[in-house]
A = this chain, B = another copy of it.
């Protein structure tokens, strides 16, 4: 039996100090006045599923008591009620319903392109008071330090950011990340405050096949009492049983009721997902009513900037399910209580004595799931869709996580001095390769992570692979940018519509090397250099000029700018792309997924053109001998 390993105690701010406990109990018992009393609304109770009229008494950052209103049925008024002193502040709500703030049970903060503070500003007014994220983007760029940085940025916000430890960095061995998270790194992170377990085990085939390192990661999480999150699209039958037997406890990939029900009854906690990339809430709405008050939650997974601004966060998942028939009270319970219990988030998930005063007041028709007022730990942070608390200015709490400097994520884009020569070598047609045969072409699909494996006979100009705008064939490149190896890879891509210039970005899931699509190698080089000069971001160039750009200087993934600026920047990039002939919607976003070597059929990493299903780099007649 191995020696017990040490795990730091959760120093979660949800746990009151001794003095805070003394005050809290005094207020609850009626000996001291509440700081705030909320009255006039109904209160949702996840323990019985009921909704009842009650006053909520808040002391400091916690709920001290939930007191049934005097005008309720006698059997609801308990013996032992006392005459309470008037509260220091009284808030009268005009009907409506109080629930805990919503918790997004699985999401990637980096998909929003903004920092935790900006994300919080976007979703707090929607009634979302916390997220559990899988920070595998920052982990791919900056490893363990990146994860710590993200949590440090979140510390002190009136918003909860919990994280799972990314389990698949890199996501394949056919790409070069900025860092690796192997079992040792994972073990180290699992013990840190704010970490709740192991992130989605996307490599479910490896888990089912018994691959040792994935099982070692699971064991590390279980030994430290962490969750083991799953990701198993379409996994059914015996393979699903195997995935569960490994210790995986959840999934968010179900798209049909049948699949969801099999997963539920087999023992998975199910997140109903609604985000920019996957929209399953309407199809799975019935599951919300089948979770027995604890087995179903909600998540967004990836919420891109436009959707975040227009639709919100996980509130939109709840709203979508309710519109499709989920019971509103059960949906709110799923989005709060069930998620908090699944992750064992202390003192969260109910409007009940002792819980954090994280509250959302839902106005009028609950089917709209529209938050009127929102409190985080007793502080009113939003009202009528707007922030009323200063998120950006909230002082950071002292502690180990607050000392992680931005330096770990700045200047993260390193390209070689002679980029043009590197690209030329990448595009150079091999001497021994005949011209005139078809080669693989990446076929981009609108609004999809999937690509089709196409083929075409390429134009070869001056001994180099060339674009062919008339056939909608552009050059696609991926250039390593973490400073670990100087290399690029190239391919032809169909579907952008690009006829001149280039687009480039430093967001290139999951390895986040530089992705570019262009008509001319020169434009590609210009675009890549501009991305590097920005410290990361997205650019559109033509004829040596930058037409539009969005700086993402934090890891080449994120910016401190407000969400509205990011959306405006993306809009300008889309317009610029359109001026280059691009017809594909959201081309920069599409470009950022063309290196995602876990989603079929054909993707491009710095290693080369990857046939995803076969898990191999395809030999091509251009580039350095033997491939990248």
Contacts and interface: CB of A to CB of B under 8 A. Distances in A.
Nearest to A8: B4
Interface in A16-58: 16-18, 21-22, 24-30, 45, 47-50, 52
Interface stretch (A87-95, A143-151, A212-220, A362-370): A212-220
Of A5, A24, A215, A354, the most chain B CB neighbours within 10 A belong to: A354
A388 interface: no
A236 interface: yes
Given A222-B346, A245-B24, A267-B350, A80 B237 contact: yes
Interface string A92-136: 000000000000000000000000000000000000000000000
Given A78-B262, A245-B28, A290 B354 contact: no
A429 to B, nearest CB: 45
A1 B398 contact: yes
Contacts of A62: 245
Contacts of A239: 29, 80
Contacts of A223: 9-11, 15
A11 B15 contact: no
A265 interface: yes
A433 interface: no
B1 A399 contact: yes
Interface in A341-368: 344, 346-347, 350, 352-355
Interface string A238-275: 11111011111000000000100110111100000000
Contacts of A63: 245
Contact of A222 (B4, B15, B49): B15
Nearest to A64: B245
Contacts of A27: 245
A224 B9 contact: yes
Contacts of A16: 219
A430 to B, nearest CB: 42
A483 to B, nearest CB: 33
Contact of A65 (B75, B222, B241, B290): B241
B21 A219 contact: yes
Contacts of A22: 210, 212, 215
A66 interface: yes
A297 to B, nearest CB: 13
Contacts of A48: 261, 264-265, 290, 292, 295
Contacts of A237: 78-82
A29 B66 contact: no
Contacts of A350: 267
Given A6-B9, A245-B65, A352 B235 contact: no
State how many copies of this chain the complex holds. Answer: 2
Which of A84, A222, A294, A353 has its CB near the most chain B CB atoms (within 10 A)?
A: A353
A79 B236 CA distance: 6
A2 interface: yes
Contacts of A294: 292-294
A264 B47 contact: yes
A604 interface: no
Interface in A186-243: 193, 207-210, 212, 215-216, 218-219, 222-225, 235-242
A354 B2 contact: no
B8 A5 contact: yes
Among the interface residues A10, A17, A346, A355, which one has the most CB atoms of the partner chain B within 10 A? A10
A223 B209 CA distance: 38
A593 to B, nearest CB: 28
A184 to B, nearest CB: 15
A7 interface: yes
A8 B222 CA distance: 13
A45 B266 CA distance: 8
A244 B352 CA distance: 8
10 contacts: A4-B11, A6-B7, A6-B9, A22-B210, A48-B265, A65-B238, A78-B262, A80-B237, A242-B353, A244-B353
Given A1-B11, A29-B238, A63-B245, 12 more contacts: A1-B399, A7-B8, A28-B238, A47-B266, A59-B245, A78-B237, A80-B236, A82-B238, A84-B238, A242-B353, A267-B352, A292-B294
Q: Which 5 A-B pairs have the closest CB atoms?
A: A80-B237, A4-B8, A80-B236, A29-B242, A267-B352
Interface of A: 1-2, 4-11, 15-18, 21-22, 24-30, 45, 47-50, 52, 59, 62-67, 75, 78-82, 84, 193, 207-210, 212, 215-216, 218-219, 222-225, 235-242, 244-248, 258, 261-262, 264-267, 290, 292-295, 344, 346-347, 350, 352-355, 397-400
